A and B are shown apart, each in its own frame.
Chain A
Amino acid sequence: MIIQRISRYISNFENLMPLFAAACAVLAAIAILSLPFVYAENQLYPKHIERESPLDPYDRGGPPFTQADIKVQYPENSPTAGYVTAYLTPFSWALANTTLHTGTTIVGHPGGILDEILYNTRGLDTVVETTILFIAFAIASYIFRKGSP
């Protein structure tokens, strides 16, 4: 009987979102109860936040075209890691010299900061991320144009 009622509730797809939200809430409550997590001391991609640097969240250190010290998981797979740190276009160079907010405008103009780890050692991630965006654009444009001939 109870299974019948549960399956009747689930069979209405309007109830899916509340059901999933409830599952998320329960798991989040369990997560909060099981705090604190013991964090690993030896992080794979350590980050030093320097508020004074204009390239703030993306500053991996080192001048351009000399190898910076970048910690990666498999150094033998990325022999050029550390060489493309902070390549800036003239526009972003001017921006970095005048304001402290170049790091926040990475998506606002082309040729911003190349994040060393993102583009050099985790290249497949960036490919998949942009693929997700393109697929989403394709769906949105198809739905938008569906009515028109």
Chain B
Amino acid sequence: MIGAGGSPFMYLEFGDIVIYFSPYTLSLFLLALVFTVLVIASRPERQLDIAFGADAYTTKEISLPEMRFRRFMAIACGLASMGAMVTGDVFDFCLFTSLVGICNVGIVAAVRSRHVQNAAYQYGLVALAGTVPLFGGAAIVAATTGTLSLIELSKTVLPAAPAVAKGFLVLGVMGEGMAPFYAAKAEMFRAPGAPYVIMCSLSSLLIFLRVIEVVLQM
């Protein structure tokens, strides 16, 4: 099998779900792994508000349980993106992607700021609605090609799946990762706690890079 991301050099079998490491998926996997390790090891930032024109600044106090919860969510998000990077099954990819979406909501849901929570709520709604095109796309792929395995799909005559199914998949990933809709994310980035909030951005970037490979080989 020579997929869009190079030929895989290692397979891990979980029944019908075969995880494969090609140069493309392995590099994305390593990126997610390195950032997850950084999230585990790093100390969160302390945000300062500086008032311009005056000699005044304030430090935002963040409680330890909140930081702990957000770190847990960031690590879960990292694990979910790692899974989404290497899985060789369309349905499994959709599941990992929706897990990334939920973890992204969880990272910002712990913040005690009304503004951030409003943005997170809207984002959560989009992530919720994004599952419909995501899993709908996977269902159309299964019905029209008769298989869900990316390895089998890349062996057939491309394109195997109709373009609409691919569009549904991409739209679903956009909804989960909010790839073009960074408006809400900019609001969410006001949340203090640097390495954890960046995990939202990185995971959505990773799943978007991965869905390109998925779409290209079916």
Contact = CB atoms under 8 A, between A and B. Distances in A.
B168 A31 contact: yes
Contacts of A123: 14-15, 17
State which size class the interface on B falls in: 35 or more
Given A21-B129, A121-B16, A125-B17, A132 B181 contact: no
Contact of B129 (A17, A39, A41): A17
A2 interface: no
A17 B13 CA distance: 38
B159 interface: no
Contacts of A34: 162-164
Contact of B152 (A27, A73, A78): A73
Given A16-B123, A16-B183, A124 B17 contact: yes
B140 A128 contact: no
Contact of B143 (A23, A37, A121): A37
A122 B122 contact: no
B20 to A, nearest CB: 12
Interface in B105-145: 105-106, 109-110, 112, 118-119, 122-123, 125-126, 129-130, 132-133, 140, 142-145
A135 B106 contact: yes
A10 B183 CA distance: 6
Given A20-B129, A78-B15, A135-B106, A37 B162 contact: yes
Contact of A74 (B13, B99, B125, B133): B13
B143 to A, nearest CB: 5
Nearest to A135: B102
A66 interface: no
A139 B102 contact: yes
Nearest to B69: A142
Given A10-B183, A129-B95, A124 B69 contact: no
A41 B133 CA distance: 24
Contacts of A12: 183
Given A13-B183, A72-B16, A125 B146 contact: no
Contacts of A73: 16, 147-149, 152
A6 B77 CA distance: 31
B78 interface: no
Contacts of A78: 15-16
A43 B13 CA distance: 21
A77 B15 contact: yes
A40 interface: yes
B164 A31 contact: yes
A44 interface: yes
Interface in A87-144: 120-125, 128-129, 131-132, 135-136, 138-139, 142-143
Interface string B83-94: 100010101100
A16 B106 contact: no
B132 to A, nearest CB: 7
Interface in B36-67: none
A52 interface: no
A104 to B, nearest CB: 21
B106 A139 contact: yes
B145 A40 contact: yes
Interface string A1-36: 000000000111110110111011001001100100
13 contacts: A11-B186, A12-B183, A13-B123, A13-B187, A14-B122, A17-B125, A17-B126, A23-B171, A34-B163, A42-B146, A77-B14, A124-B87, A135-B99
